[in-house]
Structure 1
């Protein structure tokens, strides 16, 4: 990998062909934790019939949304870097193996979550949700089989945009966005004229953003997140708000900068630049700055900066590599997929056990909130580890057989 300032944080073994970025598991853990906290506060509001606690604060409200954006940026960065490395190493990219690897990593846990969420959990009493807030799912619900078709393909985000949230499964919308990204991104990377391809993609993004801003400020068709999805604009606006391909593309651009050892990197790696960027990010998060039309892309630029420093800067101010973050990062997919199940179960148990103690003076009991946080993270971690150890790992070992340039502490299996 060379001896320049961008190489030391990367563990690269030429014999095994494995690339491992220190600290990336820490990023996964932070992103998953942000989503869990976001949903925990949302579910408290939902299950306690609208009594708002921390959910009313913009920082918490935005926390999970930005956690998902962080996942997207990291995914775009890592996938792009691996594709570039494979092309450099072998002179080509094996698209078939790329898709097989993605399928083996994503589909087993995804379909376990979707199929149990659609057909099993709706019939379990302790996994019921207040229908006036989260809706219903099941064979008796309108458009159920259409939703099944969308969730069982790569379009769960379309299902959410058309029919709203569905208990236990609607959080998989982000997996659909990732799959759609994987479907198109290798072809863009390998285009004979990547600059022209990128120009076309950016033009489409700018046109869509411009149209949204025109509708928002001139026509004023969008006043809040409560869009009328029966209208074409309402559906498209909601869909585009979730279709965060731009965040993954920003991550991909960061990977290109690092892979090409771009001259801008020494500037981005300076200590004073890091301090300034992280201070701005902290202020933006604390005050919930939301640039209309570019909210997620705005934060994605900050996240890409942090990931770039973790991946290529030996003097990065962020230090996220330790045994705890490595473990939690390994099981982060399970943390994301299982936490709504754990939250629903625990809140139903809490309500049944302490029905008169949950709320006092309009606020959720602080002791029970602490217990909910502790048990949610504890049980979700246990379930995610069991899933990783006994369900996901066999598929991961099979996935390694199709690795050309692996991204893991495990060496590829040939």
Structure 2
């Protein structure tokens, strides 16, 4: 599947929203000056949901193209590609998180109260169920992994179904499954779905959108413009949070994200095809995964400095954002070039050929 226009850069902006959501949370908990008064600083969770939509759009479209070309889906190759892309950074962050909270902090005299059994926690982490640890608050470095777990759980369940279902039923499968998943999440007695953030419907609805032909129809320009306006309002205001119930908010965002992606990738937008932004999009997985680790380091440094010097709040706030973002990007760059690429190069061996 060829790389769709604009989509790689979009990954960076979503990762950026997650960073500016977590940075003020982290520093305010440590009584360090922070700023998050504008709605855009509260859209980290929504950015993750759009990541889910983006992932579902790309993955299911890729599987669909494979089925069309080869009349089958090679699940072994699919999962090997996922392993080579996701596992290396995921397990590195798992190791860092377990080491940091269970060995490093106690060693320097900072007590950490662990509310979960360590062996159970390790098993959940290594089997890609980090979301099952969320209720135990295992620490930010490990909590960030929940979304990766959700993504892999989704594809573990849906990819085999997708491979088995006849092609003519794909569209019906996705649209029906999406609303069943919304119902189960919001209205059923399966409370564990909410407890463990098992939000799968963003993936499946975006998968449905990836199979549609939303172009060359009447009022296309108008509907496209409305979608762009709604996306801007969604991420820069609290209009929808304030006036929508939770079920309506989920359904609206699911529909909006799926359709927005189909519009957004239709043709190249020069700003989003900038080489720098494209590269930042390529390393966005590392940006997402490492920024919480970087915050721990910057937090230690700031606490040490503030014990010795009196610094203006504005300087602290700007420095916290700039330092975390800059060091995270550098870390993600190093990881991508010297660690992830080792595995990404092997991914080529499992590309599907006709």
Q: What is the TM-score with the length of structure 1 in the denominator?
A: 0.75
CA distance, structure 1, for counterparts of residue 55 and residue 218 of structure 2 = 21
Distance 1:129 1:20, change over 3 A: farther
Match of 1:25 among 1, 8, 17: 8
CA distance, structure 1, for counterparts of residue 206 and residue 316 of structure 2 = 39
Distance 1:269 1:400, change over 3 A: farther
Aligned to 1:41: 24
Distance 1:280 1:358, change over 3 A: farther
Q: Does 1:299 pair with 2:253?
A: yes
Superposed CA deviations along residues 232-271 of structure 1, whole A, max 9, x for unmatched, are 84x54322xx2221111121112111xxxx3x42249833
Distance 1:209 1:113, change over 3 A: closer
Match of 2:350 among 402, 407, 412: 402
> How far 1:60 moved relative to its partner?
2.2
Q: Is residue 73–residue 250 contact of structure 1 (8 Å, CA) maintained in 2?
A: yes
Q: Does 1:54 pair with 2:35?
A: yes
Match of 1:177 among 144, 150, 167: 150
Give the SS at the match of 1:71: helix
Name the one with the larger helix percent.
2
Superposed CA deviations along residues 392-412 of structure 1, whole A, max 9, x for unmatched, are 101001111101169xxxxxx
CA distance, structure 1, for counterparts of residue 24 and residue 109 of structure 2 = 15
Distance 1:210 1:155, change over 3 A: closer
Q: Is residue 174–residue 207 contact of structure 2 (8 Å, CA) maintained in 1?
A: no
Q: Does 1:76 pair with 2:56?
A: yes
Q: Is residue 150–residue 159 contact of structure 1 (8 Å, CA) maintained in 2?
A: yes
Give the SS at the match of 2:2: strand
Distance 1:267 1:121, change over 3 A: farther
> How far 1:178 moved relative to its partner?
0.6
Q: How many residues align?
A: 347
Aligned to 2:263: 309
Aligned to 1:143: 117
CA distance, structure 1, for counterparts of residue 109 and residue 290 of structure 2 = 16
Match of 2:183 among 195, 203, 207: 207
Aligned to 1:344: 296
Q: Does 1:245 pair with 2:196?
A: no
Q: State the superposition RMSD in angstroms.
A: 3.0
Aligned to 1:355: 307
> How far 1:319 moved relative to its partner?
4.4
Aligned to 1:107: 87
> How far 1:382 moved relative to its partner?
0.8
Aligned to 1:272: 222
CA distance, structure 2, for counterparts of residue 402 and residue 243 of structure 1 = 29
> How far 1:272 moved relative to its partner?
2.6
Structure 1 gap segments, 5+ residues each = 1-17, 216-231, 407-414
Aligned to 1:411: none
Distance 1:392 1:165, change over 3 A: same
Distance 1:381 1:37, change over 3 A: same
Aligned to 1:65: 45
